[in-house]
Structure 1
């Protein structure tokens, strides 16, 4: 017992630090060494402590460095109070007579739409594929940026971007596209400013109305018109997905370049929309089942010829275009479609066998308003306007001006000339068939397009007088005043030629073909209005009526029979140039004047194409469509010749006394060579003298 007590008394002091024995002292030291090895002496702990310390130091300095970079590059920007989203480039909206869109023109190619105006699928699709946290971030998306960095590192290159839609807007409208650190920093700063300045919907609308969708289309409206030929208001789910998909690579993925690639990307967008709960299973399946969109390589449709003309004419009327405008035109969209489809069908059917590649159609009403204009076979293939810009020889389609001049100096439709070989100043005109018919009236000579008589009439009236009359009626091109102008050797445009014929159709008043009716700002403020009041009379009513009657005989009895329209009086004239390089038919009813030209851009000959064949057939097919449902009206003057030719004998032949007189006329006139010095009324006076007149 004593021993135990002694032991307990020896150990107790060690618990409180006094009188410790050797064993307790060793145990305490051993415990201290064990604790040191599990913490401060552990190498892993020392590494973690080192990394933690220097990580904090790096973070502090990194923050300072980033802040310094932001401050440095931010200081190079203009003051914040000078920041502003620039106005969108002005758009010119061109519309037809029924208010339907012809085209948008300007650097954007489409009008701006609010989110409420455009198809709801468009913003949904763009947000789904480009910036799914658009409505939650503050302009910069740290999560998206981190994900993009991780993806790019994993793939060893840039395969995913971290820019938000707000950053893309800042880049597109406020900054350059240079891939530099400076631009990225400034882009982030401006994105934050945009988020503070505008609502999310405003930012998204600005982005969608400015972003490039490929093939020259900026903004969703331009892209929708370009690829689907419809407004962005009417875009379907599948079409919206295609548009959103283009943003990744607008040129490479354009359906005008690679329809399959565009559709493949659209399906990625649809999957993203589905994954985010924007669309259901059935909607996605329906949209994915659509056929790939195959857009033409360029803007298509003949109405684009008209849009180009409007843009060329706009600046002289209203000055510089510095705001959105609406141009109201005279174009009838139904007639425009009819003209385009008729021309294309005829060339598709006959082009190869007749060796003809191009054509043009113009239709004008009695006031000069252009109701239809097709400048070529396919606008997507060639934007050259063969109706308004090209100048080609009209051939015999120029002869009505010669005959109108003859009527003005005193000839009558029944006046007689001799169809026989003739030489004028070393020029010997020949008829198309290389045959001659002897004496005939001017009406028959025009109906059968007799060259020799037309040349005689030019010299009687004088070439200068014929040129003046053509200009008076609306021909604006330069015309060489010589005898050969009777055969249409001077070049004119189809548009001016058709416009000049309208002076016959409307009873003798000059018209200047025009497209633009009014121009207004987008807010409705008028800037220009066409004034057609008080048209100028350029032909007497009698000459106009007689010309209508004579030109009607071209269609009923002469070279233009293919142009006849059941139930309507039709007047017109065929034209064919040497070696069938050009062929035309220009004609009119009481409702509409129209001109058709066919030929080749390289001026190569067609295969026996004449104005009375393919052009007259195209004219007929178009005008039949144009007059469907329109009440028939007679031509001005009723198609009757006011001063008729002498009545034929009962057997249908000319009376013997007149035959004798015509024979004498043929012997006496014209002289062997008829030149400019020949009295211009020589043959008319001779015939009147033979008939006993003054």
Structure 2
């Protein structure tokens, strides 16, 4: 039983403990271990001569002086990594309680031993030999110093003996205070730049002599695992480690119980933002350097070794593209405005799609960059919004062989088990079919959700997993993953890598910064092994490239275009719905993921913690911001380089070039109560989709169709005064491929043309009512009626009225009626009633364009 970290004796008379007899096997093992230990130490006498021959006491004062040289993708020196940022302090400037904390935690017999602790070494030797020859722990402060300066992080018995001998040598040359001084100025307390003063500046923005007891205890606990206990990244682990150190101080009577109790209940008290400590790297390369540290650490080369080990690291860095990203990220015009003192952040990653090489990366905006701070390119986990559609919906659908860019997708009212996806814009859903090309170009949600249901959630997410994204089991239970509602989320580096498969004939090569590492002796100690992963068929990748290029040429991603270059990509945004709100005042996340023939990139923008005090207002322009930022970075970063080209032309399909549908005419017909259209028919099995734009709306091709007919005529029941543009697209009824497109025409509706028709023209709108709630009754007639609010009765007449209040009279007609409060599922024309997915499908999608 323990109380406040101190052993407590049980009440009552002492209980005589029975001696536990040690098994014969255990005795033999321990005896053998000790024998091996003595033999090993004896062997150390031989190693002693070899080791001490290279012992250089001066090296302890200055540390290794060979910086690491980092080369760019062209073999030129980009920057060097050195310990130039180390701020040395004297032992007299380091608080006594910090010295005590280190000794209590790392080496309680520091002032008594001679560089190594015989008792601890043999205890560790007995335990570790039983674990097949590795020797862990039991290093004194002096031995740790020897390992930092002279040895690699090797746990073999040979290296342990060298460590012990070097520790003895150091103790012969230096006093205990000198050894502590060198340790505090050499050890890594923050995982990157050595030295206790740097750690104090990074975590508390204080000089080391200004630290209090809890802060001293926190730093004293870091050298064993500075990344694992980093208080910015892992605050709970850091606090637990700090409290262990405080417990050691109490155990060895450095502090009182009252002081201990007060200290363990104190907060971490970190600086609001990490302090900045340089290591000789120019600011434009800071984010690349941060990722380099992370990748090298995974390879097995720590931060100190990078700074002082004399390595040559050959990377995929593109200096021009990195500089462009750095400078454009510094342009406030490409980011949401600050809100209530909160600064909008951003992250971006750019890869070579053919190799997976990391060309450039931005972990934050330059004005807010913090050394070892949070990296929004690699560490954030955010919903990708509609930028996920090519990976979860359209790519997988095409890969099945059942769909292509010209396939017609359902685009009417949809209710699947109670899940009713809505679109990001206010255009009413009055048509029922749209091509995949149009649906993706305008980022409409309903076709995406419908298509995912057709191919199956598992098919969609399995495809995206091959592309490198990660999902949780609950993601396989609801359809709004089609709109980016995934767990735990994703980041720009993952999205750039996933999109690279489209730009590389369906193959993904894992992203990496480092190609090769050569040590100070000239030996190659690491060589990247780029193994491609086949994500999709090459033909699928080709079609997606055409679709995404069409997005930039003709769709809502047009701001991402780069003059003189082929660009393909997809926007994404996530609507922010505050608790208690029935509408979204803005967005939480903005994305653009795109590529040229030679570079693929992904950009995220948003606030670190979205709230009513920090969100992106609707008036900002949504995902246009990262799209424009992508364009600016590509324009600057690729200037003077070959443009290249996609092998798939825009709007490509498996059919012959589109013909012109001729003879389209139209006029308002009082007798037919609407605009009467007609055109010259085509031979063969065909059907026609009719498109209409509102007053002054000329972008017809990306508006939804208002009707589908098989005969060469159509009556549009519209009574809105003004000019209306029309276009008709013909499709092969057997393949659903486009075969002909008509020129646009404009039809004027005037007040005089409505005289005598019995119609009262709406003041504005497209002639349809916006969806509402309530019960709608509909007799036969022509035209389309959408729900109003309240109870709506529909008498005879023709056409469609704008929404009103109370009782709405609508002329009779025959057509399609959508319901305000409908059944649990919707029958899609030409299909059976879709089965409702599990309850997870009922979640409302937060995603937008």
**Superposition TM-score, scaled by structure 1 size:** 0.56
Contact 1:96 1:332 in 2 (8 A): no
Residue aligned with 1:328, SS: strand
**What aligned pairs does 1:117-128 form with structure 2 within 5 A after superposition?**
none
Question: C-alpha distance in 1, partners of 2:318/2:657?
Answer: 44
**What aligned pairs does 1:246-265 form with structure 2 within 5 A after superposition?**
none
Q: Establish whether residue 488 from structure 1 lines up as the match of residue 478 from structure 2.
A: no
Question: C-alpha distance in 1, partners of 2:492/2:511?
Answer: 11
Unmatched 5+ stretches in structure 1: 1-80, 112-169, 175-189, 195-206, 227-248, 253-295, 678-694
Q: Establish whether residue 311 from structure 1 lines up as the match of residue 298 from structure 2.
A: no
Question: C-alpha distance in 2, partners of 1:589/1:576?
Answer: 22
Residue aligned with 2:635, SS: helix
- Residue of 365, 373, 398 corresponding to 1:383: 373
Shift of 1:383: 1.3
Structure-2 change in CA distance of 1:321 and 1:628 (3 Å): closer
Question: C-alpha distance in 1, partners of 2:599/2:575?
Answer: 29
Larger Rg belongs to: 1
- Residue of 552, 555, 562 corresponding to 1:565: 562
Shift of 1:429: 0.5
Shift of 1:304: 2.8
Question: C-alpha distance in 2, partners of 1:217/1:318?
Answer: 17
Question: C-alpha distance in 2, partners of 1:650/1:303?
Answer: 56
- Residue of 497, 500, 517 corresponding to 2:498: 500
Structure-2 change in CA distance of 1:218 and 1:441 (3 Å): closer
Structure-2 change in CA distance of 1:675 and 1:652 (3 Å): farther
Structure-2 change in CA distance of 1:342 and 1:615 (3 Å): same
Compare 414-423 and 395-404 and name the one that shifted more: 414-423
Shift of 1:674: 4.7
Residue aligned with 1:303, SS: helix
Question: C-alpha distance in 2, partners of 1:631/1:570?
Answer: 14
| 1:373 match | 361
Q: Establish whether residue 326 from structure 1 lines up as the match of residue 312 from structure 2.
A: yes
Please list the CA deviations of residues 227-264 of structure 1 after superposition, one character each: whole Å capped at 9, or x if unmatched. Answer: xxxxxxxxxxxxxxxxxxxxxx9999xxxxxxxxxxxx
Residue aligned with 1:368, SS: coil
- Residue of 77, 91, 110 corresponding to 1:100: 77
Contact 2:510 2:530 in 1 (8 A): no
Question: C-alpha distance in 1, partners of 2:352/2:830?
Answer: 42
Contact 2:350 2:599 in 1 (8 A): yes
| 1:359 match | 346
Shift of 1:525: 1.3
Q: Establish whether residue 544 from structure 1 lines up as the match of residue 541 from structure 2.
A: yes
Please list the CA deviations of residues 73-97 of structure 1 after superposition, one character each: whole Å capped at 9, or x if unmatched. Answer: xxxxxxxx89852653697736141
Residue aligned with 1:342, SS: helix
Question: C-alpha distance in 2, partners of 1:441/1:512?
Answer: 33
Please list the CA deviations of residues 500-531 of structure 1 after superposition, one character each: whole Å capped at 9, or x if unmatched. Answer: 10100112111211111112212321111012
- Residue of 440, 451, 460 corresponding to 2:445: 451
Contact 2:335 2:344 in 1 (8 A): no
- Residue of 608, 615, 629 corresponding to 2:626: 615
Query: Which structure: greater helix fraction?
Result: 1
**What aligned pairs does 1:426-441 form with structure 2 within 5 A after superposition?**
426-435=418-427, 436=429, 438=431, 439-441=433-435
Please list the CA deviations of residues 482-516 of structure 1 after superposition, one character each: whole Å capped at 9, or x if unmatched. Answer: 21111011111211111110100112111211111
- Residue of 630, 640, 651 corresponding to 1:629: 640
- Residue of 372, 397, 407 corresponding to 2:398: 407
Contact 1:441 1:645 in 2 (8 A): no
Contact 1:387 1:494 in 2 (8 A): yes
Aligned residue pairs: how many? 447
Shift of 1:458: 0.7
Residue aligned with 1:519, SS: strand
Structure-2 change in CA distance of 1:423 and 1:250 (3 Å): closer
- Residue of 511, 527, 534 corresponding to 2:525: 527
| 1:603 match | 610
**What aligned pairs does 1:410-429 form with structure 2 within 5 A after superposition?**
410-429=402-421
Shift of 1:99: 4.0
Shift of 1:551: 0.6
| 2:687 match | 658
Question: C-alpha distance in 1, partners of 2:470/2:451?
Answer: 22
Structure-2 change in CA distance of 1:319 and 1:589 (3 Å): closer
Shift of 1:642: 3.8
Question: C-alpha distance in 1, partners of 2:372/2:616?
Answer: 20
| 1:594 match | 601
**Superposition TM-score, scaled by structure 2 size:** 0.46
Structure-2 change in CA distance of 1:648 and 1:371 (3 Å): same
Shift of 1:671: 5.5
Contact 2:293 2:302 in 1 (8 A): no
Contact 1:508 1:541 in 2 (8 A): yes
Shift of 1:315: 3.7
Contact 1:404 1:543 in 2 (8 A): yes
Question: C-alpha distance in 2, partners of 1:350/1:484?
Answer: 26
Shift of 1:321: 7.8
Question: C-alpha distance in 2, partners of 1:348/1:500?
Answer: 24
Question: C-alpha distance in 2, partners of 1:312/1:527?
Answer: 17
Question: C-alpha distance in 1, partners of 2:513/2:436?
Answer: 36
Structure-2 change in CA distance of 1:537 and 1:562 (3 Å): same
Structure-2 change in CA distance of 1:193 and 1:673 (3 Å): closer
Contact 2:496 2:601 in 1 (8 A): yes
Unmatched 5+ stretches in structure 2: 1-51, 87-141, 147-169, 175-181, 202-206, 211-273, 577-586, 665-678, 690-706, 711-732, 734-815, 817-827, 839-849
Question: C-alpha distance in 2, partners of 1:359/1:347?
Answer: 13
Residue aligned with 1:352, SS: coil
Shift of 1:560: 0.2
Residue aligned with 2:616, SS: coil
Question: C-alpha distance in 1, partners of 2:571/2:537?
Answer: 24
Question: C-alpha distance in 2, partners of 1:607/1:339?
Answer: 25
- Residue of 387, 395, 401 corresponding to 1:397: 387
Contact 1:356 1:598 in 2 (8 A): no
Residue aligned with 1:546, SS: helix
Please list the CA deviations of residues 101-157 of structure 1 after superposition, one character each: whole Å capped at 9, or x if unmatched. Answer: 54637xx4679xxxxxxxxxxxxxxxxxxxxxxxxxxxxxxxxxxxxxxxxxxxxxx
Question: C-alpha distance in 1, partners of 2:663/2:572?
Answer: 30
Query: Which structure: greater strand fraction?
Result: 2
Please list the CA deviations of residues 392-426 of structure 1 after superposition, one character each: whole Å capped at 9, or x if unmatched. Answer: 00000000021011111210110001321201221
**What aligned pairs does 1:226-265 form with structure 2 within 5 A after superposition?**
none
Question: C-alpha distance in 2, partners of 1:484/1:442?
Answer: 18
